[in-house]
Chain A
Amino acid sequence: MNSVGEECTDMKREYDQCFNRWFVEKFLKGECSGDPCNELFQRYRHCVLKAIKDKEIPVERIEFMGQSKDKPESSDGS
């Protein structure tokens, strides 16, 4: 699967692989400690947000599921 920013695709795949492993082996089993993918995520996210801005995709306009009133607290990138 590609990223919206071509230059981000490699970072995305690397992160996805890390995330999927964490999601299956830790998160779904109730082990939420640690954040092995955060570094990969921050690097990838920086790239994606820049691509979104450059392409002028209006992602901010829409909010879901009471985003404002139930704001996630930690920035766990995994």
Chain B
Amino acid sequence: MDGAALAVTCAAAAADAGAGGRAHPHHQPVPGRQQQSRDSPPAVPGTCTQLSGHLQGGGPIPAEQHLHIPRLLRTGHRQEGDMKIWSSEHVFSHPWDTVIKAAMRKYPNPMNPCVVGVDVMDRSLDSQGRLHSYRLLSTEWRLPSLVRAILGTGRTLTYIKEHSVVDPVEKKMVLCSKNISLTNLVSVDERLVYTPHPGNSEETVLTQEAIITVKGISLSSYLEGLMASTISSNARKGWDAIEWIIQNSESTVS
């Protein structure tokens, strides 16, 4: 998630359970880019690599700055619970380097106040010169009282594990995240890929996917509704956060 896998539900918080939209009708597919088929088999949560297939398209994409709203690609019913896959694409009007600098130091930012802690657990360069970072994000949920009552009042601090790989030669950053708290209830796997715009090196494309698996019967429809209604606004917050970091770090040592 871009950090915030659980930010999908994190800011679900509050009041906006009724806002936002499920399967936004105005999403414009990017010409020349292979879109994930609605009939493709569901990816397995927790295995980022299995999601990489549709991200390799290379055709021109429009230079517009229209915000693509995440849309529901597929709802599956698996043994362990109901699964939804979300996908979106966003174009930043900044070069890749600038966006990556911001993405690496995205927190804190005013758009994601629920992320209260970020730690690097491990970090290393691989043989190809790519930088791997394993981070732990601490997030504080502001859940509606109903959910809080069910989960217990002491369980609002949750954790997300994140693995990012930055390839400075290929100019590609891949970031996967997954919640490690409350996994008995819900599992949110998110994958983000930042690459230079194939037609304009002054722009950066962010492709974003989330797989949400809700477990159990009693909570599932409620939580699904909550996520469906907030995933759009949360994705937008992530984009805004990157922009905010860029705007606010120009005068400081990045």
Let me know if B124 and A73 touch, CB within 8 A.
Answer: yes
Let me know if A77 and B123 touch, CB within 8 A.
Answer: yes
Let me know if A20 and B124 touch, CB within 8 A.
Answer: no
A30-51 residues with Cβ-Cβ distance < 8 A to B are 30, 32, 41, 44-45, 48-49
Chain B residue numbers with a CB within 8 Å of A70 are 126
In the complex, B97 has a CB within 8 A of chain A: yes
Let me know if B48 and A24 touch, CB within 8 A.
Answer: no
Let me know if A1 and B101 touch, CB within 8 A.
Answer: no
In the complex, B176 has a CB within 8 A of chain A: yes
Chain B residue numbers with a CB within 8 Å of A29 are 168
How many residue pairs link A and B with beta carbons under 8 A? The number is 111
Tally B residues with Cβ within 8 Å of A: 41
Binds A, one of B127-135, B212-220, B231-239: B127-135
Let me know if B129 and A32 touch, CB within 8 A.
Answer: yes
Let me know if B117 and A3 touch, CB within 8 A.
Answer: yes
Q: A1-B117, A1-B118, A4-B138 are in contact. Are A59 and B180 (CB under 8 A)?
A: yes
Chain B residue numbers with a CB within 8 Å of A62 are 46, 161, 178, 180
Chain A residue numbers with a CB within 8 Å of B117 are 1-4
In the complex, B147 has a CB within 8 A of chain A: no
Chain B residue numbers with a CB within 8 Å of A20 are 104-105, 253-254
In the complex, B10 has a CB within 8 A of chain A: no
For A9-30 the 0/1 string (1 means CB < 8 A from B) is 0001001110111011001111
In the complex, B119 has a CB within 8 A of chain A: yes
Q: A28-B97, A62-B46, A66-B49 are in contact. Are A57 and B254 (CB under 8 A)?
A: no
Tally A residues with Cβ within 8 Å of B: 45
Let me know if A52 and B121 touch, CB within 8 A.
Answer: yes
In the complex, B122 has a CB within 8 A of chain A: yes
Let me know if A64 and B48 touch, CB within 8 A.
Answer: yes
In the complex, B19 has a CB within 8 A of chain A: no
Q: A20-B105, A24-B101, A58-B180 are in contact. Are A64 and B120 (CB under 8 A)?
A: no
Nearest CB in chain A to that of B48: its residue: A65
Min Cβ gap B140→A in Å is 11
Q: Which of B100, B120, B121, B168 contacts A59, CB < 8 Å?
A: B121
Let me know if B174 and A41 touch, CB within 8 A.
Answer: no
In the complex, B116 has a CB within 8 A of chain A: yes
CA distance A32 to B167 in the complex (A): 12
Q: 3 nearest interchain CB pairs?
A: A64-B163, A72-B124, A76-B125
A-binding residues in B (CB < 8 A):
46, 48-49, 97, 100-101, 104-105, 107-108, 116-127, 129, 131-132, 134, 136, 138, 159, 161, 163, 165-166, 168-169, 174, 176, 178, 180, 253-254
B-binding residues in A (CB < 8 A):
1-5, 8, 12, 15-17, 19-21, 23-24, 27-30, 32, 41, 44-45, 48-49, 52, 57-59, 61-67, 70-78
